[in-house]
Amino acid sequence: MHMKAVTYQGVRTIEVKEVPEPRIERPDDVIVRLTASGICGSDLHLVSGMVPDLPKDFVLGHEPLGIVEEVGPEVRHVKKGDRVVIPFNVSCGECFYCRHGLESQCDNANENAEVGAVFGFSEEGGGFPGAQAEYLRVPYGNYLPFRVPEDCELTDERLVLISDVLPTAYWSAENAGVKPGVTVVVLGCGPIGLATQKMCWLMGAERVIAVEAVDYRLDHARRTNRVDTVKFESPKETGYLIKEMTGGGADIVIDCVGMEAKMTPLEYVETMLKIQGGSLSALSTAVQAVRKGGVIQVTGLYGMRYNGFPYGDIYSRNVTLKGGLAPAVRYMPVVYDLMAQGRLDPADIVTHVMPLSEAKEGYEIFAKRKQHCIKVILRP
């Protein structure tokens, strides 16, 4: 049996094609018939070649929502017919890291135990086929799936954000230490940045400032999240402006951009030669914008090695640097409850809902920021 899926075919090339349907491989596996799956900014990194060694025909995607189709003999947590959201992390629920709230660094899900496992995110990320497809094999079926209550009235476009966007945003604000009275700068007004701005208000921030280079995204943030806005010019200029606005710098800066920030010509050449992990523009801006003794939370994806890393500025000003991959599993019920209670509505983030068959166009719209795109959801 075969199914349609979004597959990697080489740098900047994807194709929706027939691939083998997944099957139960272990007794705690679950097969999910997907009803929605998001395109994430980190998918663009994969397709652009910034994550090396992605094999041809690899199935992309790590933001799944669907219906349980089949369960292995040891699965008790869900049953056929349950509506479930699957987190982007692949994690066992039993190792040291899963038991201590850091399931994004699960020791058992990835043979390369130096990094956590993610659906649809390269061999280095565990080699698990992704969710931009008709079906998905989900391991650790007694731990990973979030079962949507039967009386839930939330739309698929909201529920699918529980897989990555909303847990990542909530964790970003919490891990950064957002609390009543603080001033927070959020770098980036893509899906994660917009959701993080919402979370900062929920956690009591006194002021939220959004930074973005793209005008329509700044307008979107201002309109939907009542934030102050700054158009990005350069790390030095933007940092100086924020210091002026805040009287010395923000308490917290949350980087929701990562290595996809605008590169200098040298960074571009070094990245293509695999001697640089992408742009340092966003992190450099964070260093300029944060106050002495403040916190920088890095949520945007970065590569492995960087030249010119501004650690001296961080050290000399007693700035705390935090970040990494969000442990999504434990935050899924938290963000669901916020939506169910009416305290959080992320519907504005989803601007495009498209058939899976049109994924190639969806990737182009998202990557080239056409049609005022913020977030694309694919429907099999």
Judge if 132 and 20 occupy the same domain.
Answer: yes
For position 17, which CATH number holds? 3.90.180.10
Residue 113: predicted pLDDT: 60
Q: What is the pLDDT of residues 310-326, one digit of tens each?
A: 889 999 999 999 999 99
| 74 and 130 housed in the same domain | yes
The residues pairing with 184 across neighbouring beta strands, listed in sequence order, are 208, 252
Which range is least confidently modeled, 29-38, 75-84, 112-121, 253-262? 253-262
Residues 298 and 375 both lie in one domain: no
Q: Compute CA distances 346 → 143, 156, 212, whole Å.
A: 25, 12, 19
CATH number at residue 252: 3.40.50.720
Same domain (yes/no): 123, 157: yes
278 and 268, same structural domain? yes
How do residues 91-100 score in pLDDT, each as one tens digit?
999 999 999 9
Q: Which residues fall within 8 angstroms of residue 43, CB to CB, at 6 or more apart? A: 60, 61, 62, 120, 132, 363
Domain that holds residue 334: 2-164+327-379
| Residues with Cβ within 8 Å of residue 74, at least 6 apart in sequence | 27, 28, 141, 142
d(CA 130, CA 135): 9
Q: 299, 323, 347 — which closes off a domain?
A: 323
Q: 30-39 and 64-71: which strand pairing?
A: antiparallel
Point out which residues pair with 84 in neighbouring strands.
Answer: 66, 147
Using the predicted structure, report yes or no on whether residue 14 has a pLDDT greater than 70.
Answer: yes
Q: Which DSSP string do the residues of 314-342 spell out, in sequence order?
A: HHHTT-EEEE-----GGGHHHHHHHHHTT
Q: Is the pTM of this model over 0.85?
A: yes
